[in-house]
Amino acid sequence: MGSGRWILVAWLIIGALAAGQRHYYARFDGGCAAIATIGITWATGPLNYVGLNPTANCKVPQPSR
């Protein structure tokens, strides 16, 4: 079980590096889509380097008038 944890940590670090190389942190506006895109990029880890380019769009419900 110990090696599985290290693999998970390495996977997430590679995803964080991919998000940094795509400048997601510099363009972070605190919006739902930005947070989701960074999270998906972290979760996909090394797959970012084989052509996967995950993005997310969020639609937050607006209050009724």
Q: What backbone phi and psi angles, to 5 degrees, belong to 23? A: 65, 30
Give tens-digit pLDDT for 31-44. Answer: 888 899 999 999 99
pTM, full prediction: 0.78
Share of residues in the chain with pLDDT > 90 (%): 49
Q: Residue 18's CB: how many other CB atoms inside 10 A?
A: 21
Please check whether residue 41 is in contact with residue 56, taking contact to mean a CB–CB distance below 8 angstroms.
no
**What's the pLDDT score for residue 13?**
95
**What's the pLDDT score for residue 1?**
59
